[in-house]
Structure 1
Amino acid sequence: MPVTSGINHVTTFTTDLDRMARFYEDMFGAEIVFERQATDGHPRTAIVELGGTRYVKFVEDPAYRAPHTTTAIERFGLAVGSLAILRELRERMAAAGAAIGEIERLPTQWVLPFTDPDGTPLQVSAHARPGDPAA
């Protein structure tokens, strides 16, 4: 049995912290719970709560270019509680002009690919239940 209880946070770079935080607030109802202004030796950062004590930490780097290929992380996925919520989220993202794909059924989950404002590919997933209708 694992001693961990899940992922606490993911850290990612952004060229514009305000724009990225607004995107997560508008799309996911996320909330900034910590912000630190840039100082000598430390870039500006913010921690955004996604719910359930899960966070994304944004580090502002004006020179960042996506997709960032100097790390081993390809992308990260956010979780929602149901296919219905995933559908609502897709509609909200489409209305906001976000770069999104179609909802796809995988063996254990529904997946919605999207691209954040910096061009980083991400996903939102919902657990698939037996008998779920088509997306």
Structure 2
Amino acid sequence: MPFTTGLNHIATMTADLDRLVKFYIDAFGAETTFEMAAREDHPRMVIIDLGGGSALNVFEVSAEDIVGDRRRQGGRGPIDHFGLAVDSLASLEATRDRLRELGADIGEIQRLGSEWSLFFRDPDGMELEVCCHAG
């Protein structure tokens, strides 16, 4: 039986962050819960609460950096990574330890808005994330 509690968020990229955030607020009553200004090593980012524990993490990148045909099924779209949810920081720490034991390429647990977050790469090199609510 899985020990994860479901998906935490979907991360996507856009060339116009303000437009996309406004759309989700207007269309779904979503709320912005975290904003991060662009840094040399990270694009501008907003976390949008979609309700029910689900979020959309949106990164602003140049249009040239978005690969694929968004409208064609099977085309590589704007999804960057997905996050798995666990129920506590203790579970996140245990997951980190398990990933280390498996030899996964992992980062450090960090606080992003209202979440504790751990990024890692699966055996194919795909970046994924494990998260839990902080507090």
- The structure richer in strand per residue is 2
With a CA cutoff of 8 Å and minimum separation of 6, indicate the structure with the bigger relative contact order. Answer: 2
TM-score normalised to structure 2 length: 0.49
Taking structure 1 as the reference length, the TM-score comes to 0.49
